Amino acid sequence: NAGVTQTPKFRVLKTGQSMTLLCAQDMNHEYMYWYRQDPGMGLRLIHYSVGEGTTAKGEVPDGYNVSRLKKQNFLLGLESAAPSQTSVYFCASSYTAGSNQPQHFGDGTRLSIL
């Protein structure tokens, strides 16, 4: 009964380094999302995908790239990490069948950029 799994759970990077965050879901959901959560700012959408092979920009996409090569996986990449990208990152997924389907969230990745 895994649901949405994010790896890694914690990571510390140096400015300029790159890394990829992995999100995997086993619920056969079409839609997947990447959010960041910062104190006092709530959840903000970075990128999302409405199906395998598709991606779209959210509210705060700069400095991030994503890929959805397989339906169950959604990868978030940081090309050149900056201290402003220190945050908690949440992945979520949902069905396509109308907006009464809630998003299911992973446990988050806590990322610190030094």
Partner 1 sequence: GQNIDQPTEMTATEGAIVQINCTYQTSGFNGLFWYQQHAGEAPTFLSYNVLDGLEEKGRFSSFLSRSKGYSYLLLKELQMKDSASYLCAVSGSRRSDKLIFGTGTRLQVFP
Other CB atoms within a 10 A radius of the CB of residue 75 amount to 19
Give the footprint of partner 1 on residues 31-50 (CB under 8 A).
31, 33, 40-45, 48, 50
Distance CA 33, CA 56 (A): 10
Cβ closest to partner 1, residue 62 vs residue 98: 98
Sign of CA dihedral 5, 10, 13, 16: positive
Binding mask 69-98 for partner 1 (x = CB under 8 A): ---------------------x---x-x-x
Instruction: Report whether 3 contacts 26 (CB < 8 A).
Output: yes
Cβ closest to partner 1, residue 48 vs residue 74: 48
- The footprint of partner 1 (CB under 8 A) covers 31, 33, 40-45, 48, 50, 56, 58, 90, 94, 96, 98-108
